[in-house]
Structures are given as C-alpha cells and as structure tokens.
Amino acid sequence: MSDPSIVATKTFSAKRFARGAMFCPSCTLRLEESVNVCPSCGFTGAQTMQMYQGTPPPMMEMMDLAGVWTDDEKNEIQKKINKFRSLFPQVHWSILSVVLPPQTDIRTFAFWVFNASPLSEGQTAETRQWTIFLLVEPDNHRIAVLPGYGVEPFLSDDQWQKAVWGMKKSWHEKSRGEAVLKFLNSARIGLIEASKRANYIISTSSSFIS
Amino acid sequence: MNYFYLTIFWIITIFAQAQDSNFGLPDRPLGQVSDHKKLLPTSKRDAWEEELTRLLENDKINIKLVVLPSLYGTPPDFVAKKIGEAWGDKDLQGVIVYVPRQSNTPAFWMGGTKTTDFNQDPRRKNDMLIRMQKRVSGELTETDKVQAAITELGDTLRIFKSVWQQYTIMKDAAQKDAYNRYVERRKKSRIFEIIAYALGGLCLILIPSLIILWRQRTKVCYFPATSARRRFGAPYAGGNSVAITLITRQS
C-alpha cells in the first residue's frame, strides 16, 4: 500500500494532510493555528489538572472501569484491536469505559486522561501520539473519540462522528460490545482510505517535506 | 538350353488347358439334382431331389447333386469345385459329383463364406472331406454311396452352420459387451471430465479469491510521520475530540 521506508524516514508537515480544523476542547472554538491558550475561553491544558483531581491510570488497550462489556465482548474487541495492529502497525488503541457525573464535560475529561495519564510500560511518547482514545460513558450514553497528534491530521471530525453514530443502533439494543466493534470497523475503513490518500499526496508531491 | 525349358513350360500349360477344357459345365438345374442325361432311376432322383430341397428349405443348406456321364479324365474334386463356384450360394453350399460306375465318385466340395471365413485353417476342412470320403467309400452300392454322401455333406454343413451361428452370437455378444464396456468407460471418463472441469473452475475462482483474501489479511497500511501541532501545552493530543450522546434522556 505504501513504502514504509519513505514514511518512516521523513517527517511531513501535518497541515498537508489535515482533513479538518483544530478546535478547543472546552468551547469548541475553531482554531486557525496551534495555541497554548484558547483565545475565546482561555482554556489551557493545565486547567484540566485542576478540573480533574489526581492522576488517571496508565492507558491500556481495554479499561472497562464501568463494567460495560462482558468477557466475551472484551475478547472480541481485543481480537479486533489485534487485527487492527497488524493492519496499522503505527496506530494504537485505548478504550475506556467509566461512570462520570452528568455535568462532567466528556471532551475535557478525555483530553485530561489522554495527556495526564502516565506512559505505561513499553509505551513511548510517540506511541501515545499515535493512539486513538475511545471513551465510553454508559450512564449518560456519551461517547468521545480523541486521536493523538500522530493520527489527528488524517481523519476529519466528520469521519469520527460518522463512526460514532454507527454505534447507535447496537448501543440502543444494549449490544455494547458490538457497538464498539462497529465503531472499530468504521475506523478501519476510514483509516485505510486516509492512508491511501496520505500516500497519494506523498507520491504526487515532494515539495512539502519539512 | 533356355528354349528347351520354354518348350516344356508351354507343353505343360497347353496340357493343363486341354484337360480343363475337356470338361464343360452342365446347365444349372431348376432343382437340387442335375441329371440331364437321366442316368439316375426316377424314384431315386425324385427322392434325393426332395431330400435336398427339404435341406435347402429347412436348414438353408444348398447342396447340388450333379450326375454326369463322364468327366473326361478331369478329377472329380476339381469338377465339384468348378460347379460349386459357378452355381453356388455365397454363404454355404455343397456339391456332390456322381458319375455312375466311376470308382472315385461321388466327390464332394463344400464352400461359401461361412466355411472359409469361419474355418481359417484349410487343413481342418480337408480333414472333414477325407472323413466324409471314408464314410462314403464304406458303402457297398453306388446308390448307398450317393445317399451317404448327401447325408454326410448335409450333416457337415449343418455343423458348419450351427457353429457359424454360435460364432455369430458370440461375436455379437462380444461386440455388445465391448460396446457396453466402451459406453461405461466413456461414462466414467465423462464423469471424471466433469469433475475435473468443475474442480478446475472452482480453483479458478477459489485461488484468486484466496490470493485476494491473503493479500487483504497481510496488507499493512502506513501513515507518514507528521510534525505534531501541539497546543494547550498538551504533550500527546490537542483535544480535537468528537463527543456524541447516543441516546438522549427523552428518547
């Protein structure tokens, strides 16, 4: 599909692949450039440390803190993640189910977990940046998806939204394991297409190598 | 010296032709007995005519009794053969040549495709003729000899016919059997061909499908490494998250 030697040795500008704009996780303001403080609401990453006390646990592939999935469902999801890993060696997954109070902003919570969570054994900053974080909050039926910096440019918010909406039917039918599998399927299709597109961009233009 | 041998050859040839030409074939009779010179007693002629006609009608064996005043020195076997070939039935026939008061008659000849085709060895046919000759020569009177010749030749030709029929039945059965075996073999080979074609077709579909499947399973997708668009002081993710409530409280 792509030449691993090229993609491994060169670093490209994220802007060339960016499918969508950047947003503030707090007020969802569209950002034209990378900023440390949101010009609208003044959000900074450090604020989340005060919003959510303590330290989140290290990010594992499956963290079913809310007990959403059965053992069989967890096995199926794990199998799917393993297949995912052989198809996309760079991409990692972290799926967390947790019970949150209804007033908790799930976006900032996901942001906090992703960035504040210590690296687990064998994990590096780079692998964390290539992680896609799926947060499931069962009591209020809320789902959040947060890609790391590595994956972020390749899929647009619309694509992620579409993948999450794909979970709705199974979720409604209480098949929550199947809902996650459907999400992973949609993500797989989106990532394959994104990989093709990115490699097409590389093959047709070499002027944007940073 | 050469002239001498050439002369001898011509003498022999002329002699042989003269001997052959001494005997003229009698006219073909309407019935089975040819006795133009009325040499046989009427009762005997009628009796043999009836017997030979019955043999022809019942057993389809055509035996001609030819009564001649003389053979003019021509061997009776030769005469019988000539007559048989001239008048004969192509399938199965016999000729008895009888010259009253001539010791080497009655003479026999038998022929036709059923005797020649079936019995390829001429010695066996010759043995049969010798046996008949012995049987006939055992009779005391000429009339009995002719009667014995008719009976012997009729019996021999009957044997030929029955053996021929048996042979034909066996040949037909063998042919039928061979045909059946051919059909069976053909059927088996057809089934084998159909199975082979079906398997071949299946392989043609299956192999590319397996290759596609294998390539899909072993496919690896890579993304180019990009410079991180760090923001909000976050080390790993900038907060470009999607948050959706799948079921509202109202629903």
* Three-class HEC string of chain A: CCCHHHHHHCEECHHHCCCCCEECCCCCCEECCCCCCCCCCCCCHHHHHHHCCCCCCCCCCEEECCCCCCHHHHHHHHHHHHHHHHHCCCCEEEEEECCCCCCCCHHHHHHHHHHHCCCCCCCCHHHHHCEEEEEEECCCCEEEEEECCCCHHHCCHHHHHHHHHCCHHHHHCCCHHHHHHHHHHHHHHHHHHHHHHHHHHHHHCCCCEC
Mean pLDDT of chain A: 89
Tens digits of per-residue pLDDT, A62-79?
999 999 999 999 999 999
**Given an 8 Å threshold on Cβ–Cβ distance, is B227 in contact with A12?**
yes
The yes-or-no verdict on residue A48 having pLDDT over 60 is: yes
Neighbours of B245 (CB within 10 A): 13
Q: What's the whole-number mean pLDDT along residues B52-80?
A: 85
**B250 in contact with A, Cβ within 8 Å:** no
- From the candidates B216, B245, B246, B250, which should be mutated to test the interface with A, based on the most A CB atoms within 10 A? B246
Question: CA-nearest residue of chain A to B250?
Answer: A140
> Could you give the CA distance from residue A90 to residue A150 in angstroms, rounded to a whole number?
9
Q: Name the band, by pLDDT with cuts 50, 70 and 90, for residue B73.
A: confident
Q: In this predicted structure, what is the pLDDT of residue A90?
A: 93
**Given an 8 Å threshold on Cβ–Cβ distance, is B223 in contact with A131?**
no
Q: Which of A9-13, A204-208, B51-55 has the highest mean pLDDT?
A: B51-55
Q: What's the whole-number mean pLDDT along residues A90-113?
A: 94
The yes-or-no verdict on residue B248 having pLDDT over 70 is: no
**B28 in contact with A, Cβ within 8 Å:** no
Angle at B55 between CA B54 and CA B60, to 5 degrees: 115
Q: What's the whole-number mean pLDDT along residues A103-123?
A: 93
Q: Which residues in chain B touch residue A106, judged by CB atoms under 8 angstroms apart?
A: 243
The yes-or-no verdict on residue A209 having pLDDT over 60 is: no
- Among the listed residues A2, A178, A159, the one whose alpha carbon sits nearest the alpha carbon of residue A90: A2
Nearest to B225 among A7, A24, A111 (CB): A7
Nearest to A147 among B231, B240, B248 (CB): B240
Q: In this predicted structure, what is the pLDDT of residue A210?
A: 43
**Given an 8 Å threshold on Cβ–Cβ distance, is A198 in contact with B239?**
no
Lowest mean pLDDT among B4-8, B34-38, B91-95, B220-224: B4-8
Identity of the amino acid at A164: V
The yes-or-no verdict on residue B6 having pLDDT over 70 is: no
Nearest to A192 among B221, B244, B248 (CB): B221
What ipTM goes with this model?
Answer: 0.86
Give the count of Cβ contacts less than 8 A between chain A and B. 185
The yes-or-no verdict on residue B99 having pLDDT over 90 is: no
Asked if A197 contacts A5 with a C-beta cutoff of 8 angstroms, the reply is: no
The yes-or-no verdict on residue A4 having pLDDT over 60 is: no
- Among the listed residues B160, B127, B133, B168, the one whose alpha carbon sits nearest the alpha carbon of residue B148: B133
The whole-angstrom distance between B203's CA and the closest CA on chain A is 27
pTM of the complete model beyond 0.90? no
Lowest mean pLDDT among A92-96, A97-101, B174-178: B174-178
- B135 vs B12, which has greater pLDDT? B135
- From the candidates A52, A84, A128, A149, which should be mutated to test the interface with B, based on the most B CB atoms within 10 A? A149
- From the candidates A146, A205, A209, which should be mutated to test the interface with B, based on the most B CB atoms within 10 A? A146
Nearest to B227 among A1, A4, A210 (CB): A210
Q: Which residues in chain B touch residue A87, judged by CB atoms under 8 angstroms apart?
A: 219-221
Q: Is the peptide bond before A4 cis (omega within 30 degrees of 0)?
A: no
Q: In this predicted structure, what is the pLDDT of residue B9?
A: 65
Strands B107-111 and A92-97: unpaired
Tens digits of per-residue pLDDT, B143-172?
888 888 888 888 888 887 887 788 888 888
Q: In this predicted structure, what is the pLDDT of residue B245?
A: 92
Q: What's the whole-number mean pLDDT along residues A101-112?
A: 93
**Given an 8 Å threshold on Cβ–Cβ distance, is A160 in contact with B226?**
no
Asked if B160 contacts B115 with a C-beta cutoff of 8 angstroms, the reply is: yes
Nearest to A111 among B225, B227, B237 (CB): B237
Asked if B142 contacts B40 with a C-beta cutoff of 8 angstroms, the reply is: no
- Among the listed residues B227, B222, B231, the one whose alpha carbon sits nearest the alpha carbon of residue A126: B227
Q: What's the whole-number mean pLDDT along residues B203-224?
A: 89
Q: Which residues in chain B touch residue A3, judged by CB atoms under 8 angstroms apart?
A: 222
Q: In this predicted structure, what is the pLDDT of residue B97?
A: 87
CA atoms within 13 A on the CB side of B155: 10
Nearest to B243 among A115, A142, A191 (CB): A142
Q: Which residues in chain B touch residue A23, judged by CB atoms under 8 angstroms apart?
A: 239-240
Within 8 A by CB and 6+ apart from B231, the residues are A22, A31, A34, A35, A36, B238, B239
The yes-or-no verdict on residue A8 having pLDDT over 70 is: no
Between helix A157-165 and helix A176-204 the angle, nearest 10°, is: 150
Q: What's the whole-number mean pLDDT along residues B197-223?
A: 90
Q: In this predicted structure, what is the pLDDT of residue B144?
A: 86
Chain B (224-243) residues lying within 8 Å, Cβ to Cβ, of chain A: 224-243
**Given an 8 Å threshold on Cβ–Cβ distance, is A46 in contact with B233?**
yes
- Among the listed residues B148, B67, B56, B58, the one whose alpha carbon sits nearest the alpha carbon of residue B102: B67
DSSP label at residue B28: P
Q: In this predicted structure, what is the pLDDT of residue B103?
A: 75
Q: Name the band, by pLDDT with cuts 50, 70 and 90, for residue A21.
A: confident
Question: CA-nearest residue of chain B to A16?
Answer: B226
**Which structure tokens are listed for B150?**
């008719």
Strands A30-31 and A22-23: antiparallel
Q: In this predicted structure, what is the pLDDT of residue B124?
A: 74
**Which structure tokens are listed for B100?**
């009253």
What percentage of chain B has pLDDT greater than the value 70? 84
**Given an 8 Å threshold on Cβ–Cβ distance, is A22 in contact with B238?**
yes
Nearest to A115 among B221, B223, B236 (CB): B236
Q: In this predicted structure, what is the pLDDT of residue B145?
A: 86
Question: CA-nearest residue of chain A to B232?
Answer: A36
The yes-or-no verdict on residue A206 having pLDDT over 80 is: no
Q: In this predicted structure, what is the pLDDT of residue A208?
A: 47
- B211 vs B70, which has greater pLDDT? B211
Q: In this predicted structure, what is the pLDDT of residue B121?
A: 67
Asked if A71 contacts A131 with a C-beta cutoff of 8 angstroms, the reply is: no
**Given an 8 Å threshold on Cβ–Cβ distance, is A150 in contact with B223?**
yes
